[in-house]
Amino acid sequence: MSPRLDASQTPQATSTPSPEKADPVEEDLDGLAGLPEIPPYDEVGPVDARALSKTLFERLESLEEGTHEYSYVRNTLVELNLALVKFAASRFRSRSEPMEDIIQVGTIGLIKAIDRFELSRGVEFPTFAMPTIVGEIKRFFRDTSWSVRVPRRLQELRLDLAKAGDELAQQLDRAPTVGELADRLGLSNDEVVEGMAASNAYTASSLDAQPEEDDSEGALADRIGYEDHGLEGIEYVESLKPLIAELPSRDRKILSLRFVANMTQSEIGDELGISQMHVSRLLSRTLVRLRKGLTVEE
């Protein structure tokens, strides 16, 4: 915390033997005379902070940037107006980032506002500074809070979709469709779908994340994917293809009717004009041939 700004306590050179030996810091602080005494910053109310800030801004305009006096007055303005940063940061308390980080980013916005502020505009400093502080915090979330990096265009589209979605939901009393969002934002349906897909990259959940207390299911990893037993047969199917291709056309027909069309042996016999027993013998012979072909060691 910066020291209290008290013109009566500003250090002065008591003895200056020669101009060459004068203390440059003391010379820079000579211009602080006449400024009001500032109590501890945590004891300064909003009204007093506004009045003191106006006085300090008037003095800051007359100082040369880079001098110790300029830095002292500028730092004092930062300390006096930190309440603006804390107020702005409180709007984002539900975010996952630590509040200390949000305040630090907001302070950067406050410093930018101090450097850009001009008393001649006739605007109160809090009114001028708040958009800059909030904008800096929002930029921080936009640029650093995405689990997966996506183009800036999609980051901004996500915000537009969220705002338009809330407005349409209130008007329609239901969730808006892709077409309604596209009409509202003047976009194509494909662009809206792309923006909605990009929103999934904003946060990522761990596969090992534990469920909520009222969730009867297990971790996320237990709820996605499953063991596909059909995969075990892929190797056999691929191995059978050349063997089946070598069969006579009638044997291939019987295999197709039995295992693809799920016809019975009697139905196959009727289809081919042969007896059910003949179908059974042909089918058994074909299956033995294929089985041998699969088990032959290369």
Specify the pLDDT at position 200. 63
pLDDT tens column, 5-21? 444 443 343 344 444 44
User: Which amino acid appears at position 210 of this protein?
Assistant: Q
Q: What is the pLDDT of residue 65?
A: 84
Give the whole-angstrom CA distance, residue 155 versus residue 201.
Answer: 10
Tokens of 139: 């930029």
Find, among 186, 66, 185, 58, the residue nearest to 125 by Cα.
58
- Any idea what the Cα angle at residue 245 is, between residues 240 and 248, rounded to 5°? 120
Structure tokens at 182: 């596209």
CA distance 249 to 232: 28
User: What is the spatial distance between Cα 1 and Cα 40, in angstroms, rounded to a whole number?
Assistant: 9
Domains in the chain, CATH or no CATH each:
7-11+19-144 (1.20.120.1810), 152-206 (1.10.10.10), 230-295 (1.10.10.10)
pLDDT band at 138 (very low <50, low <70, confident <90, very high): confident
Contacts 24+ apart (CB under 8 A), 231-239: 236/294, 239/294
- How large a percentage of the chain has pLDDT more than 90? 11
Q: Note the pLDDT tens digit of each residue in 188-208.
A: 988 888 888 776 655 555 555
Residue 57 reports pLDDT greater than 80: yes
Instruction: Pick from 24-28, 61-65, 212-216, 236-240 the range whose average pLDDT is largest.
Output: 61-65
CA distance 60 to 73: 7
Average pLDDT across the chain, whole number: 76
| % of residues, the chain, pLDDT over 70 | 67
pTM to 2 decimal places: 0.42
144-170 tens-digit pLDDT: 655 556 667 776 787 788 788 878 887
